[in-house]
Amino acid sequence: MHRAAAALLIVGIAACVPVAPPMPAPEPAVAPAPILSPQDVVAVTRRVEPVAEAVCRAETPDQPCDFRILLDGDPRNGVNAFQTSDRAGMPVILITVGLLADMRNADELAFVIGHEAGHHIARHRDRRARSAAEGARILGGLAAARGADRQTVIEAAELGAFVGARRYSQTAELEADAIGTLIAYEAGFNPVQGARVFTRLPDPGDQLLATHPPNANRIEIVRRTLAQLRAG
């Protein structure tokens, strides 16, 4: 079992601009200290990873479940987290430095890790690809049946793939929220407190082709799932 540790390096940038007296020089600009220390991050990952692995092995024993939790140190990747796989097919959870700096407490970080693990457990990457393929087949087939030329059929298939993937993504996010709630809860964290991270994210609202469901829906899924867990 891998138990990866993440460390966040905060660099203060000092600015010194010479000015003519009597105006004083500006104070050095100092980056704010992170709310979660590197030790906090290590502690959270060490508690959440084995629970995510256990849930994965219980629900999908036929797929790899040895999660690696890594820090994406490129600030250009913004406030984000995502699940992928390494070359050996092992599941990897990447958390950007932007998102880690935005975490307000350990509950939020635990929920985010659980959510990303949920994508792997529910096989969302494969299912999203199948949804896109089905959308391409339907719209491309309709265009061909109406006698469209080859280029129009290709464009229709591309649109179908886009719509199929986007519409499935909303369902997948809610499923991952429910699984993330289970993992965070079993690891000893408060998923409802963790889901407060949604209150700071842009809300996609009810847009038909949004990749994520409305934030209020996601918070409600977490609350309902936690209530079911506590009720046994």
Q: Is the pTM of this model over 0.85?
A: no
- Cα of first residue to Cα of last residue in the chain, in angstroms, is 29
Residue scoring higher pLDDT (125 or 191): 191
- CB of 111 closer than 8 Å to CB of 181: yes
Rounded to whole angstroms, the Cα distance separating 200 from 212 reads 14
Given pLDDT bands bounded at 50, 70 and 90, which one contains residue 24? low
Residue 227 tokens read as 């209530």
In this prediction, residue 170 has a pLDDT band, given cuts at 50, 70 and 90, of: confident
Residue 70: beta bridge partners? 94
Angle between helices 150-186 and 215-230 in degrees, nearest 10:
40
Nearest to 109 by CA among 35, 170, 58, 176: 35
Answer with the residue of higher pLDDT: 184 or 130.
184
> φ, ψ for residue 70 (rounded to 5)?
-125, 160
Q: How many CA atoms lie within 13 A of 67 on its CB side?
A: 29
| Partners of 68 in beta bridges | 92
Q: Is the pLDDT of residue 43 over 80?
A: yes
Q: Do the beta carbons of residue 42 and residue 69 sit within 8 Å? A: no
What tokens does 210 get?
């949004």
Rg of the chain (C-alpha set): 22
Question: 137's torsion region: left (phi>0), alpha (psi -120 to 50) or beta?
Answer: alpha
